[in-house]
């Protein structure tokens, strides 16, 4: 029912989206706390939310503006110069040099020197408004009020020019010039209730997925320009999307240990078997039929059959794991509540 109304409105909103993307984000510097992140020995042991590996380089982001860079498979970390202290939630590198990170208060950061230093490209901080100012807001601005100060939750760049960022309350931003300008592209998807968009992820064949709260799920077959809404298998929240191991394979996972697998670009789904009951946050394919998923309470799931069944392990610390990646040396890096953990992939 909602779907039909959504369709009618889509055209009109799309128009607005294109022109008014960052219409009221220009005053952000006034409200943004521009204290630079503090160097800390504890950065690698405190909350980290995402990790990206690009060739020999490992970059992880997390609490208090921490961005850590390792060129030796995580043996040691250099802390980057970052202009803010907000909790960062995701990072993506498109080359040895260029990468983007996003986080709370709608910050988008960019590095052009391989992660050593970062510049602020965009922010959407919480603004303190008088009653008078509140009254002057347009309806559009009023509905988007919850976005202010809320976190952006994931970032994906197609190349060093075109990239997308998704976040809380339906935030969906895009750039075509490497982040010099950011536009609101939320009109490209049918998310009129403004559900949180938790993850954006692309397969090798250029297919891109966005998954979020209340089972919202979108797919783009053209690198992010046009999106279709998929009827997902689940009404709860997805925290992540993982593509592979097959070309059209895709996993959805989220609340309560739910895992779903599709082999046809998300058209049909089957539920994978696992004992997990905690939220699952991230995954990685390890070649062949091996897939790993990680999540809250230190849950680590491993599948050797392409993701139909998973066996469960729980780390000793039971701290949430938010991201997992393969390191150049074949080991695995996991980051989360307690910082960095590096493990060898368990034997089959």
Partner 1 sequence: MSNQKPSFLEEPIFKLRPVLLVLFAVLTAFFAYEASKVKLSTEFEKMVPLQHEFIQNLLKHKDELSLGNDIRIVVEAKNGDIFTDEFLQVLRQVTDEIFYFDGVDKAKIQSLWTPNVRWMEVTEDGFRGGEIIPPTYDGSPESLEKVQANVLRSGQVGRLVADDFQSAIVHVPLLDQSGNNKKLDYKKFSTALEKDIREKFQSDTINIRIVGFAKKIGDLIEGATGVALFFLIAIGITFVLLLIDSKCIRSTFIVILCSVIAVIWQVGILTLLGKGIDPYSMLVPFLIFAIGVSHGVQLINEFAVESQRINMKLEAAKLTFRALYIPALLALISDAIGFMTLWTIEIHVIQDLAISAALGVFALILTNLLMIPVLLSYSGVSKMALNAMDKKLHAKHVIWSKVAKFATPKAATVSVIIAIIGAGVGLYISKDLKIGDLDAGAPELWPDSRYNLDDKFVNENYSVSADVLVVMVETPEYSCTESDAMEKMDRFMWHMENVPGVQSTLSVVTVSKRVITGFNEGNWKWAALTRVQDIINNSVQTVPGGLVNTDCSLAPVIIFLDDHKAETLDRAVAAVQEFAAAENDPDVAEFVLASGNAGVEAATNATIEHAQNMMKVLVYGVVSILCLITFRSIRAVICIIVPLALTSILCQALMTILGIGVKVATLPVIALGVGIGVDYGIYIYSRLKGFMEDGMELEDAYFETLKVTGKAVCFTGLTLAIGVGTWIFSDIKFQANMGVLLTFMFLWNMVGAIWLLPALANFLIRGKIKPKNA
Residues that bind partner 1 (CB under 8 A): 33, 38, 40-42, 46-47, 49, 63-64, 85-87, 89-90, 104-105, 125-126, 149, 151, 153, 196, 198, 213, 234-237, 239, 255-256, 277-279, 281, 296-297, 316, 318, 320, 322, 336-337
Cα of first residue to Cα of last residue in the chain, in angstroms, is 47
Strand partners, 199: 211
**From CA 267, how far away is CA 240, in angstroms rounded?**
17
Question: In the complex, what is the shortest distance from the CB of residue 207 to partner 1, in angstroms, rounded to a whole number?
Answer: 24
Look up tokens 């922010």; give the residue.
Answer: 123
Which residue, 40 or 226, has its beta carbon nearer to partner 1? 40
**From CA 344, how far away is CA 348, in angstroms rounded?**
12
Question: In the complex, what is the shortest distance from the CB of residue 61 to partner 1, in angstroms, rounded to a whole number?
Answer: 10
Closest CA to 58 of 346, 342, 345, 347: 342
**From CA 71, how far away is CA 74, in angstroms rounded?**
7
Look up tokens 């046009």; give the residue.
Answer: 226
Which residue, 153 or 286, has its beta carbon nearer to partner 1? 153
CA angle centred on 282, ends 276 and 283, rounded to 5°: 85
Which residue, 59 or 207, has its beta carbon nearer to partner 1? 59
Which residue, 121 or 296, has its beta carbon nearer to partner 1? 296
Question: In the complex, what is the shortest distance from the CB of residue 115 to partner 1, in angstroms, rounded to a whole number?
Answer: 20
Contact of 108 with 125, CB cutoff 8 Å: no
Look up tokens 């799931």; give the residue.
Answer: 301
Question: In the complex, what is the shortest distance from the CB of residue 42 to partner 1, in angstroms, rounded to a whole number?
Answer: 6
Look up tokens 């029912």; give the residue.
Answer: 1
Question: In the complex, what is the shortest distance from the CB of residue 225 to partner 1, in angstroms, rounded to a whole number?
Answer: 27
How long, in residues, is the chain?
A: 348
Question: In the complex, what is the shortest distance from the CB of residue 290 to partner 1, in angstroms, rounded to a whole number?
Answer: 25
Which residue, 86 or 187, has its beta carbon nearer to partner 1? 86
CB contact set of 337 (below 8 Å; sequence gap of 6+): 47, 319, 320, 321, 322
Question: In the complex, what is the shortest distance from the CB of residue 257 to partner 1, in angstroms, rounded to a whole number?
Answer: 10
Question: In the complex, what is the shortest distance from the CB of residue 40 to partner 1, in angstroms, rounded to a whole number?
Answer: 5
Question: In the complex, what is the shortest distance from the CB of residue 312 to partner 1, in angstroms, rounded to a whole number?
Answer: 11
Which residue, 41 or 132, has its beta carbon nearer to partner 1? 41
Strand partners, 156: 164
Closest CA to 283 of 316, 261, 315: 261
For 10, other C-beta atoms within 10 Å of its C-beta total 15
Which residue, 166 or 332, has its beta carbon nearer to partner 1? 166
Instruction: Indicate if the alpha-carbon torsion angle 5, 124, 195, 293 is positive or negative.
Output: positive
**From CA 249, how far away is CA 227, in angstroms rounded?**
18
CA angle centred on 345, ends 340 and 348, rounded to 5°: 155
Which residue, 50 or 249, has its beta carbon nearer to partner 1? 50
Which residue, 151 or 163, has its beta carbon nearer to partner 1? 151
C-alpha of 316 from chain center: 26
């Amino acid at each position: 029912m909602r779907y039909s109304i959504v369709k009618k409105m889509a055209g009109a909103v799309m128009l607005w989206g294109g022109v008014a993307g960052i219409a009221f984000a220009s005053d952000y510097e006034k409200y943004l706390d521009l204290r630079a992140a503090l160097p800390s020995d504890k950065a690698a042991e405190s909350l980290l939310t995402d990790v990206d590996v690009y060739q020999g380089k490992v970059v992880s982001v997390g609490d208090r503006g921490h961005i850590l860079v390792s060129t030796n498979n995580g043996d040691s970390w250099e802390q980057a110069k970052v202009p803010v202290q907000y909790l960062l939630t995701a990072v993506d590198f498109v080359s040895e040099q260029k990468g983007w990170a996003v986080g709370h208060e709608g910050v988008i950061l960019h590095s052009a020197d391989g992660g050593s230093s970062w510049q602020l490209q965009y922010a959407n901080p919480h603004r303190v408004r008088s009653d008078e100012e509140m009254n002057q807001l347009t309806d559009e601005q009023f509905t988007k009020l919850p976005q202010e100060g809320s976190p952006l939750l994931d970032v994906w760049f197609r190349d060093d020019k075109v990239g997308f960022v998704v976040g809380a309350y339906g935030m969906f931003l895009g750039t075509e010039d490497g982040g010099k300008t950011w536009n609101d592209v939320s009109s490209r998807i049918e998310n009129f209730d403004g559900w949180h968009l938790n993850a954006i992820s692309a397969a090798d064949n250029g297919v891109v997925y966005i998954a979020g709260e209340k089972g919202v799920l979108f797919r783009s077959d053209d690198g992010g320009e046009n999106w279709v809404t998929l009827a997902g298998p689940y009404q709860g929240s997805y925290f992540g999307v993982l593509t592979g191991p097959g070309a059209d394979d895709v996993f959805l996972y989220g609340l309560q240990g739910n895992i779903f697998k599709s082999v046809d670009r998300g058209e049909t789904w089957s539920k994978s078997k696992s004992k997990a009951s905690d939220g699952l946050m991230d995954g990685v394919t390890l070649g062949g039929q091996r897939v790993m998923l990680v999540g809250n309470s230190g849950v680590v799931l491993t599948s050797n059959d392409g993701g139909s069944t998973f066996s469960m392990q729980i780390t000793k610390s039971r701290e949430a794991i938010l991201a997992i990646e393969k390191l150049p040396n074949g080991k695995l890096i996991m980051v989360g509540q307690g910082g960095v953990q590096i493990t060898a992939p368990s034997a089959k």
